[in-house]
């Protein structure tokens, strides 16, 4: 896997935004390429002045959306048998899909939004959404809303860390949980305030 990671970095270094888009499309289509790696290195290139921050974020969100749609459609038309039959050919773990399924079963469509901030679950959450045949427009909307904060946060972190951007790879999961926790607290506060004003 380390060789694959280095190859991904090499492609982003050469091809820039299209490589970010393709890398995130693969990551969101259940291929285990860490978004921390893609966005962290993109942030480093922003630090070097070789990329524009906004364009890097847009490429990441667009790629994530494309991959998520592909995964959703695979789940929609293929169902759970798709994972059983083809999962091993694309490094798709039935255990990790089951974890995403558990989250989806418990929290429903809102999981598509929140899972973008959680390690492992974010990569596979589109499949259960497809299994359940959730509303496609809502799926797209929630995917974008959930992807934007994570993308901005990690690209920005890579930019701030500069030459030390690879630190993100070692603390990526902890960062995911921290960001997710912050957003969860904000949502609780917002819903509580809204209920009091109702």
Asked whether the predicted pLDDT for residue 4 surpasses 70, the reply is: yes
Q: Which two tokens stand for residue 73?
A: 């459609």
Each as own residue / partner, the long-range contacts of residues 15-18 (CB below 8 Å, 24 or more positions apart, any chain) are 16/45, 16/50, 16/51, 17/51, 17/55, 17/56, 17/59, 18/59
Q: Which pLDDT band holds residue 183 (cuts at 50, 70, 90)?
A: low
The residue-averaged pLDDT of 177-182 equals 63
Alpha carbon 87 to its chain centroid, in Å, reads 19
Asked whether the predicted pLDDT for residue 198 surpasses 60, the reply is: no
Domain that holds residue 85: 2-197
Q: Which of 12-21, 56-65, 67-76 has the lowest mean pLDDT?
A: 67-76
Q: Which pLDDT band holds residue 190 (cuts at 50, 70, 90)?
A: low
- The pLDDT score that the predictor gives to residue 58 is 96
Q: Which pLDDT band holds residue 186 (cuts at 50, 70, 90)?
A: low
Domain tally, the chain:
1
pTM of the predicted protein model: 0.78
Asked whether the predicted pLDDT for residue 9 surpasses 70, the reply is: yes
**pLDDT tens column, 31-40:** 778 888 899 9
Whole-angstrom Cα distance, residue 30 to residue 26? 7
**pLDDT tens column, 138-175:** 889 988 988 898 899 889 989 998 888 888 776 665 66
**pLDDT tens column, 100-146:** 677 676 767 777 777 777 666 677 778 888 888 888 998 899 889 88
Q: Looking at the chain, how many residues does it have?
A: 198
């Amino acid at each position: 896997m380390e060789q694959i990671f280095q190859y991904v970095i090499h492609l982003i270094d050469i091809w820039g935004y299209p490589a970010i888009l393709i890398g995130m499309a693969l990551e969101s289509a259940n291929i285990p390429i860490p978004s921390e790696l893609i966005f962290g290195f993109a942030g480093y290139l922003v630090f070097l002045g070789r990329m524009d921050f906004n364009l890097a974020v847009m490429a990441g969100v667009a790629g994530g959306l494309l991959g998520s749609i592909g995964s959703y459609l695979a789940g929609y038309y293929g169902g759970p048998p798709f994972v059983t039959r083809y999962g091993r050919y694309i490094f798709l773990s039935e255990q990790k899909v089951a974890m995403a399924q558990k989250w989806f079963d418990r929290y429903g469509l809102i999981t598509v939004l929140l899972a973008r901030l959680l390690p492992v679950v974010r990569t596979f959450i589109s499949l259960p959404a497809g299994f359940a045949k959730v509303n496609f427009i809502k799926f797209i909307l929630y995917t974008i809303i959930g992807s934007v904060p994570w993308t901005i946060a990690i690209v920005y972190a890579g930019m701030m860390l500069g030459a030390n951007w690879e630190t993100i790879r070692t603390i990526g999961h902890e960062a995911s949980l921290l960001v997710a926790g912050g957003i969860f607290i904000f949502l609780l506060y917002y819903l509580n305030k809204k209920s009091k004003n109702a």
